[in-house]
Amino acid sequence: MTSEDQDPHAPIAAVSASADVLRHPEAGEHLLTAVERERAARFRQESGRLDFTAAHILVRLCAARLLGVPADTITLAQNCPDCRKADHGRPYLPDHPDVQVSLSHTHGVVAAAAGRRPVGVDVELTARSGSLLQVAGRVLAPAELQQVEAHPEPGRAFLRQWVRKESLIKLGRTTLDGLAAVDLSALPLDVPPGRPLRSRYQDLHLVDWTDPVRGAVICAASTAAPRIVVLTPEAG
Ligand SMILES: [Zn+2]
């Protein structure tokens, strides 16, 4: 154990297949609030509903682990700073204002984080790297764009920077319009599968993760070094 691992303020970030979250012994739609259930019901596709539900459960499991309380005691709320609606926007725990949370869902895979420091987490499918690459020119700093274009797998290289930048947005450090001003070109682009890669950007700690089984890349960012846990049904 390093001293980093013992930081009591270090956020827990978890990644899992949506189906595995829903099979977790503590999981269930009963954990969701009425607002969340209504939002879940609006998904046209069942898979979208399940990914949404799994992410909203996984963030409760993270917060429950951090706080040492049962998941069914955690209430999650959201607040949109733009339109003030409560069914989307930044997630928070009304009963635990000292705990910060973040969540992300994509097709079949979800990620979530909870900590006593600002935290942002993002997950994307490796399969999306080709289509996402189209926005590279708008969201990368010039040095990052050069690196991505020179990389043997530009789509994969871009996806790594994209999840890092998305996690910084969720942390509240930047916005979609400000992404090109964030220059992460000093960070390595290749993250070996199954091993966390830790790096720094300004005062932030980033942890990158590549999940070859679920075909996903994940980044969690915080002012304290996040710990990554992979939630599997066996691990409980
Ligand atoms: Zn809104």
Spacing, Cα 86 to ligand 1 middle (Å): 8
Residue range 29-86, pLDDT digits in tens: 999 999 999 999 999 999 999 999 999 999 999 999 999 999 999 999 999 888 988 8
Is the confidence at residue 236, as pLDDT, over 70? no
Does 3 fall in a domain?
A: no
Spacing, Cα 138 to ligand 1 middle (Å): 23
Eight-state DSSP code of residue 81: T
Does 235 fall in a domain?
A: no
Residue range 118-155, pLDDT digits in tens: 999 999 999 888 888 889 999 999 999 999 999 999 99
Residue range 163-217, pLDDT digits in tens: 999 999 999 999 999 999 999 999 999 999 989 999 999 999 999 999 998 899 9
Residue range 6-36, pLDDT digits in tens: 577 789 999 999 999 999 999 999 999 999 9
What is the domain count for the chain? 1
Which residue's entry shows tokens 């409980």? 236
Spacing, Cα 176 to ligand 1 middle (Å): 15
CA distances in angstroms from 11 to 82, 86, 106, 113, 227, listed in the order given: 27, 24, 21, 6, 6
234: left (phi over 0), alpha (psi -120 to 50) or beta: alpha
Domain of 26, in residue numbers: 8-230
Does 65 fall in a domain?
A: yes
CB under 8 Å, gap of 24 or more: what pairs does 90-97 form? Answer: 90/170, 90/172, 91/59, 93/63, 96/63, 96/67
Does 37 fall in a domain?
A: yes
Does 68 fall in a domain?
A: yes
Helix axes 34-41, 46-67, angle to 10 degrees: 150
104: left (phi over 0), alpha (psi -120 to 50) or beta: beta
Spacing, Cα 81 to ligand 1 middle (Å): 7
Spacing, Cα 130 to ligand 1 middle (Å): 29
Take residue 227 and report the two structure tokens written for it.
Answer: 């710990």
Spacing, Cα 80 to ligand 1 middle (Å): 5
CATH number of the domain bearing residue 210: 3.90.470.20
Query: Quick one: pLDDT at residue 110?
Result: 97
Does 2 fall in a domain?
A: no
Query: Quick one: pLDDT at residue 234?
Result: 60
Spacing, Cα 210 to ligand 1 middle (Å): 31
Spacing, Cα 220 to ligand 1 middle (Å): 23
Spacing, Cα 91 to ligand 1 middle (Å): 12
